């Protein structure tokens, strides 16, 4: 009965997340010229901007519900009750429903669009010009981080410039195209996780895919906020799969593309040297990839933030998500899930107050510590329960 209910439950969850995303539409942004759609937009904005307590309660309730459904799905997957067909149906439905959602928890998507428009509309290099150099552009009214030049690699520009060109300066179309790119990368990453799991002959292939694709943090940061980390990791995971198949040229090509998006995946380059010049096994490569991905999250956090104050961001966990999902050590998976839950809690202060508190970095660090402690407690209690059940 529960297995049959999974698909409708996940579809309802995606619709709820889709609807909630529009409570966060920037007040300076009009998504449609149709008067009826403008009225609907304003009614959603009222909740997010002028009834922040309700908005926060809705968000907290939604996150708790999503993780509850996620844990239920994991338990059914552990018992091998979920077929591959049902799993992929859920994943694809989530992606399709959330493509037109609003990037509720981050303004980065607007920067991606504007950076590409600097090329297609203004015909100059975003490495030399920043958004503030075009003060008459209407997008500046609802953007953030307009003071910086292009911080990403040339691959990301190569992927996004065609999208703004195809949109022909229509903002709504640009938004949909960029979101579609993220959704395609999300599905593609799940696909290569499955292929790697099969190559490694994991005990439960579907479980590895579900740990990645149905994790609420991955869903929110990939399909709603559409951070470019998901595209970067798609090429990285594809590269690892090609490495396991001894497709050296293809694996290096995908690695270069991944590094060229945001540079962070350069940390995985030594794995390719090890494989090319030694007889290291696929499983050993995966173990090292898990370690390096966690290290990449730490390094990225240390390198970010303002005034040399390192700051962890929830979407940095996308760097580790694919490899942890493939790693069969239960303790690592438990810690990962609990940290993801508490990481999404870092949005609560902004949703409630309308601005980030001055001590947000400290609050995020506390949430991470609580996540680690909670992970240990969950793992300990589960281990006791399992041993008691077996005994």
Per-residue pLDDT of the chain (391 residues; tens, 9 = 90+): 788 899 999 999 999 999 999 999 999 998 888 889 889 999 999 999 999 999 999 999 999 999 999 999 999 999 999 999 999 999 999 999 999 999 999 999 999 999 999 999 999 999 999 999 999 999 999 999 899 999 999 999 999 999 999 998 899 999 999 999 999 999 999 999 999 999 999 999 999 999 999 999 999 999 999 999 999 999 999 999 999 999 999 999 999 999 999 999 999 999 999 999 988 999 999 999 999 999 999 999 988 765 557 889 999 999 999 999 999 988 899 999 999 999 999 999 999 998 998 888 889 989 989 988 888 888 777 666 544 444 4
Would you state the pLDDT for residue 372? 85
Q: CA distances (Å), 307 to each of 44, 314, 361, in order?
A: 35, 20, 12
Which residue shows structure tokens 């949430």?
A: 367
Q: Where are the domains of the chain?
A: 2-107+173-390, 108-172
What pLDDT is stored for residue 319 in this prediction?
Answer: 97
The whole-angstrom distance between residue 73's C-alpha and the CA centroid of its chain comes to 19
Q: How high is the pLDDT of residue 388?
A: 46
Structural contact between residues 244 and 282, judged by C-beta atoms closer than 8 angstroms = yes
Which run of H or E residues covers position 307? none
| Rounded distance between C-alpha atoms, residue 212 and residue 112, angstroms | 24
Residue 4 Cα distances to 82, 173, 190, 210, 278, angstroms = 9, 36, 22, 16, 47
Which of 237, 197, 390 lies closest to 321 in space, CA to CA?
237
Residues 6+ apart with CB under 8 A from 77: 87, 204, 206, 207, 210
Give dist(CA 21, CA 225) in Å, integer.
9
């Amino acid at each position: 009965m529960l297995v049959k209910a999974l698909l409708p439950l996940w579809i309802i969850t995606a619709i709820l997340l889709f609807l909630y995303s529009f409570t966060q539409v920037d007040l300076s942004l009009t998504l449609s010229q149709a008067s009826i759609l403008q009225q609907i937009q304003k009614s959603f904005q009222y909740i997010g901007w002028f009834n922040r307590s309700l908005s926060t309660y809705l968000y907290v309730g939604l996150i708790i519900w999503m993780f509850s459904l996620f844990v239920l799905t994991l338990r059914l997957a552990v018992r091998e009750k979920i077929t591959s067909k049902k799993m992929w149906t859920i994943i694809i439905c989530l992606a399709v429903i959330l493509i037109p959602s609003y990037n509720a928890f981050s303004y980065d998507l607007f920067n991606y669009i504007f950076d590409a428009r600097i090329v297609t509309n203004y015909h100059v290099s975003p490495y030399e010009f920043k958004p503030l150099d075009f003060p008459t552009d209407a997008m500046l009214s609802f953007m953030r981080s307009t003071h910086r030049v292009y911080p990403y690699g040339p691959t990301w520009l190569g992927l996004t410039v065609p999208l703004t060109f195809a949109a022909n300066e229509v903002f709504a179309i640009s938004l949909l195209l960029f979101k579609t790119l993220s959704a395609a990368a999300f599905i593609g990453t799940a696909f290569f996780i499955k292929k790697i799991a099969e190559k490694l002959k994991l005990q439960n292939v579907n479980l590895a895919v579900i740990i990645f694709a149905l994790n609420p943090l991955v869903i929110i940061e990939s399909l709603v906020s559409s951070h470019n980390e998901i595209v970067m990791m798609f090429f990285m995971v594809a590269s690892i799969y090609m490495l396991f198949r001894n497709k050296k040229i293809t694996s290096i090509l995908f690695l270069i593309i991944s590094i060229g998006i945001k540079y962070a995946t350069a940390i995985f380059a030594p794995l390719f040297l090890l494989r090319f010049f030694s007889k290291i096994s696929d499983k050993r490569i995966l173990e090292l990839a898990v370690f390096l991905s966690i290290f990449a999250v730490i390094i990225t956090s240390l390198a970010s933030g303002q005034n040399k104050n390192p700051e962890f961001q929830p979407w940095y966990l996308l760097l580790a998500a694919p490899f942890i999902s493939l790693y069969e050590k239960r303790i690592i998976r438990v810690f990962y899930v609990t940290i993801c839950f508490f990481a999404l809690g870092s949005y609560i202060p902004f949703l409630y107050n309308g601005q980030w508190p001055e001590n947000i970095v400290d609050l995020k660090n506390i949430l991470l510590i609580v996540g680690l402690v909670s992970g240990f407690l969950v793992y300990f209690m589960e281990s006791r329960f399992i041993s008691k059940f077996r005994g």
